[in-house]
Amino acid sequence: MSIVTQNFSRNKYFNWAVKNLFSSWVNTIMTIIAVIFVYEIGSFFLNWSIFSADFKTNFEGEIITDRTLCSKNIVPGEYGACWAIIYARWDQFMYGLYPVEETWRVNLTYALLPFAIIGILFDKLPFRKLFIYFTFIFPFIAYFLLYGGPGLSTVGTNKWGGLLVTLFLGVTGIGLAFPLSILLALGRRSKMPIIKSLCVVFIEFIRGVPLITLLFTANVMLPLFLPDGVNPDNLLRALVAVTLFQSAYMAEAIRGGLQAIPKGHIEAAEALGLTYWQTTRKIILPQALKIAIPPIVNTCIGLFKDTSLVLIIGLFDLLGIGRAALADMTWTKLYYEVYVFISLVFFIFCFGMSRYSLYLEKKLKTDNS
Amino acid sequence: MQTNFIRKIIFDEKSRALLIQTLVIGLFAVFIYLIAQQTAYNLEKRGISSGFDFLNISAGYDISIRLIPFSSEDTHLRAYFVGLLNTLMIAVCGCILATILGFLVGIIRLSSNWLFRNIAYVYVEFTRNVPVLLQIILYYSILLNLPKIKQAFVIFDTFYLTNRGLFSPSPIFKEGFSIVFWSFIFAIFFSILIKRFLKKKQEQTGKQYPIFLINSAIIIFTPILFFYVMGMPLEFDSPVLKGFNFKGGMVIRPEFLGMLFGLSIYTAAFISETVRSGIISVSKGQREASQALGLKSSFVMRLIIIPQALRVIIPPLTSQYLNLTKNSSLGIAIGYADLVHGFGGISLNQTGRAIEIMLIVMLTYLSISLTISLFMNLYNKSVQFKGNA
């Protein structure tokens, strides 16, 4: 008898299953319910998205050029997804209305982007200094490639769209907001009452109103604020709103980091005769930013998701392009395909960022102990 | 003398701070002045008048989703209140639903069952990494693809789920219902008094009273008693299919449902994370100690774990409520007539008073945010640790 139990208890998987799935009657019933639930949802979704879905061609092998050729619109009872809309609109999803013969410029920018970011993300990277230098040059390269300049034809931002606009607003917004947010966070902790109250009012105002009202304001009122000759285009107006918005949230994240620095560090630095800016630059910020990175990444995830709001002011980001595709009579009514595809793109970016944030939290924990 | 003065400004901390602040405020004033002047010039050039007199002009558009009567002859000011009420309605409903769903998912994430735990995990990761706007639009298009009125889903023979919304019976309050309502309010106050009295007695004598049972009986049975005494002054008007539409009853529109699902499913994912971390934060020793004292497991949760977890949960929960309220402004994407859609969108286009309208909308959201933070801070104070300082 005891031998039998021992044999069972040696089996790692069996033990695991007993502990996590069948520890009690209630637990067993829960497991059965969960299995049925997962099976039903999973099989439906897999069937819809893969097994009975059309990709480029329908069930007869015909290439799908409009929605009436989708299997589900021909065969009664068929419900599989019709991914042909994604193939047909792929260029728009990636580049918007960017001229087809110039899309290599966008592709090149996409390809260079990871190299510009990687230096900031990982501190033990070989040749990290080179990557950091590249980070600072990258905005100019990207501007030259995307907008045009000597040797390259100009492509107006009204032609930009899809992932290009989403990434542009996300990356540029974060990049511009970062220095601004450091100043705001320092200002909020400043001993000078006027500077402090200006920063507090700015941060709390921006955090108290929805992004959509800021986008509206930038869209409608920026032209009113500026002299005649200066008329920023729609994308730039959205960028202003997004940057201000992000800087307020990031400033709060950084303030959290600043508050975590023991006062003794500042006093010690002052006792050594360092000036305010020396103390800030060499003692406080390096420590505070390190602590603040996980919450900063969280605000970045938030901002990346919020870039989808620009569709409301008439820009064509990923979601805007998706809605435009659905408004086209040849593809209309394929909502789920389009929205699931866009969700997947956002999910990949945001989930990636949240994993990075977790990785950092773990790394910082081991450093401290 | 001259150099001394300059030296003092540069090297004395106080006078330097004064100088910097004067400079900053001067620059700020110049900046504001330039913008104001430019704006005035631009407005004049484009022939846009300014002022708040437009609030009394009739709006000229209709709002389909409304809590108070509104027609196209009513003023913009009334349109503002219709929008404000719609915003508040979706925010309150969304917060309640998101809290229930979030607590549920947060507790499931700590379940001992591996499958339950991971289903909740997948839900959290998939909903919080997809933009809320996209989710609202997705749920809205699912709701629009429900069967037409003629083939409506019928739930319990009383609710009809169609692509034009959820049709449900509407209550008709007859004479005497207000007495039932007031008896309910009275019962709540009375039960609070009883709770205080019994708590005091428990502290004096050490004897436990079934406070919860007594109070629920009072709160449930008093209104029922009055309901029968007053001769059942409540009837329901059920929707009946007539021709191409339902007659009678009331309808919850797909715009509202889409917003509600989008906002609460998205926010619940964040709330579940704060609930989870709150419960984890209560140290294991607390649970073990209370079990060692012989407390029932339901008491352990109610008296030991949750009061301590709430201290950790409330501050992030507040910011989730604030986020949900701010995200309710996305109704414009699916045509939910909230503040931004009606007043901030259509009224703005009709009157052209961009500055005034955006100012009002922003100040409204600011005051809503501040009110929520105020109440949540008060609540937070009541759950925080009260020690002998």
ipTM, two decimals? 0.89
Please give the pLDDT value at position B1: 55
Q: Do residue A210 and residue B38 have CB atoms under 8 angstroms apart?
A: no
For B52, the 3-state DSSP assignment is coil
For B171, the 3-state DSSP assignment is strand
- Residue A250, beta-bridge partner list: none
Please give the pLDDT value at position A125: 80
**Phi, psi at B210, each rounded to 5°:** -75, 70
Q: Which of A208, A211, A213 sits opposite B358 (nearest CB)?
A: A213
Q: Do residue B330 and residue A212 have CB atoms under 8 angstroms apart?
A: yes
Q: Do residue A208 and residue B348 have CB atoms under 8 angstroms apart?
A: no
Q: Kindly report the CA angle at B348 between B342 and B351, in degrees rounded to 5?
A: 125
CA distance B138 to chain A (A): 7
Residue A165 and residue A36 in one domain: no
Total domains present in chain B = 3
DSSP 8-state symbol, A78: -
Q: Is residue A91 part of a domain?
A: no
Q: State yes or no: pLDDT of A97 exceeds 80.
A: yes
Residue A64 and residue A208 in one domain: no
Confidence of residue A369 (pLDDT cuts 50, 70, 90): very low
Confidence of residue A181 (pLDDT cuts 50, 70, 90): very high
Q: Which of B17, B119, B366 sits opposite A192 (nearest CB)?
A: B17
CATH number for the domain spanning A265: value is 1.10.3720.10
Residue A64 and residue A174 in one domain: no
Q: Which of A30, A213, A305 sits opposite B344 (nearest CB)?
A: A213
Q: Is residue B55 part of a domain?
A: no
Residue A72 and residue A191 in one domain: no
Q: Is residue B60 part of a domain?
A: no
How far is it, in rounded angstroms, from Cα B129 to Cα A342? Answer: 12
Q: Is residue A264 part of a domain?
A: yes
Q: Do residue B113 and residue A37 have CB atoms under 8 angstroms apart?
A: no
Q: Is residue B70 part of a domain?
A: no
CA distance B209 to chain A (A): 31
Q: Which of B42, B130, B358 sits opposite A346 (nearest CB)?
A: B130
Residue A203 and residue A345 in one domain: yes
Confidence of residue A300 (pLDDT cuts 50, 70, 90): very high
Structure tokens at B291: 């079990």
Q: Is residue A121 part of a domain?
A: no
Q: Which of A31, A306, A308 sits opposite B115 (nearest CB)?
A: A31
Structure tokens at A78: 């068929």
Q: Is residue A138 part of a domain?
A: no
Averaged over successive runs of 10 residues, the pLDDT of chain B (389 residues) comes to: 68 80 90 86 78 76 77 82 90 94 92 88 93 93 82 75 79 76 85 86 81 82 79 73 72 89 94 92 88 85 85 87 92 88 82 85 91 84 65
CA distance A266 to chain B (A): 16
Q: CB of B90 within 8 A of CB of B258? A: no
Residue A2 and residue A77 in one domain: no
Confidence of residue A367 (pLDDT cuts 50, 70, 90): low
Confidence of residue A366 (pLDDT cuts 50, 70, 90): low
Contacts of A216 in chain B (CB under 8 A): 340, 344, 348, 358
Total domains present in chain A = 3
Residue A338 and residue A229 in one domain: yes
- Full domain range(s) for residue A239: 161-368
Q: Is residue A136 part of a domain?
A: no
Q: Is residue B53 part of a domain?
A: no
Whether residue B11 lies within 8 A of chain A, CB to CB, comes out as no
Q: Is residue B39 part of a domain?
A: yes
Residue B163 and residue B271 in one domain: yes
Three-state helix/strand/coil letters over B109-149: CCCCCHHHHHHHHHHHHHHHCCCHHHHHHHHHHHHHCCCCH
Confidence of residue A8 (pLDDT cuts 50, 70, 90): low
Q: State yes or no: pLDDT of A176 exceeds 90.
A: yes
CATH number for the domain spanning B319: value is 1.10.3720.10
Final residue before a domain boundary, out of A69, A86, A103:
A86
How far is it, in rounded angstroms, from Cα B163 to Cα B252? Answer: 11
Q: Is residue B388 part of a domain?
A: no
Which residue of chain B comes nearest to A354, CA vs CA? B129
Residue B222 and residue B317 in one domain: no
Structure tokens at A222: 């920026």
Residue B311 and residue B213 in one domain: no
Whether residue B145 lies within 8 A of chain A, CB to CB, comes out as yes
Please give the pLDDT value at position A171: 92
- Percent of chain A at pLDDT above 70? 96
Residue B156 and residue B178 in one domain: no
Residue A216 and residue A312 in one domain: yes
A215-238: pLDDT as tens digits: 988 888 888 888 777 778 889 999
Q: Which residue bears the tokens 């999910």?
A: A347
Tell me the residue type at B289.
Answer: A
Q: CB of A310 within 8 A of CB of B131? A: no
Q: Do residue B333 and residue A20 have CB atoms under 8 angstroms apart?
A: no
How far is it, in rounded angstroms, from Cα B219 to Cα B200? Answer: 21
Measured N-to-C along each axis, helices B13-46 and B2-11 cross at an angle, to the nearest 10 degrees, of: 80
Please give the pLDDT value at position B51: 76
Q: Is residue A104 part of a domain?
A: no
Q: Do residue A311 and residue B133 have CB atoms under 8 angstroms apart?
A: yes
Which residue of chain B comes nearest to A352, CA vs CA? B129
- Full domain range(s) for residue B31: 2-46
Residue B216 and residue B320 in one domain: no
Residue A177 and residue A205 in one domain: yes
Structure tokens at A87: 């193939």
Q: Which residue bears the tokens 């907008």?
A: A147
Q: CB of A149 within 8 A of CB of A102? A: no
Over residues A147-173, the mean pLDDT reads: 87
Residue B161 and residue B283 in one domain: yes
Cα B4 to Cα A200, A254, B23, distances in angstroms: 35, 39, 21
Mean pLDDT score across all residues of chain A: 86
Residue A202 and residue A274 in one domain: yes
Contacts for B198 with CB less than 8 Å, ≥ 6 apart = B209, B211, B214
Please give the pLDDT value at position A6: 53
Over residues A89-93, the mean pLDDT reads: 88
Q: Is residue A149 part of a domain?
A: no
Q: Within chain B, how many helices (H) and strands (E) appear?
A: 13, 8
The pTM assigned to this predicted structure is 0.87
Q: Is residue B301 part of a domain?
A: yes
**More confident call, B226 vs A289:** A289
Residue B262 and residue B141 in one domain: yes
Q: Is residue B352 part of a domain?
A: yes
Over residues A182-194, the mean pLDDT reads: 90
Q: For residue A112, give the nearest of A147, A132, A137, A138 by alpha carbon.
A: A138
Residue B160 and residue B309 in one domain: yes
Final residue before a domain boundary, out of B237, B271, B287:
B237
Residue A196 and residue A311 in one domain: yes
Q: Is residue A108 part of a domain?
A: no
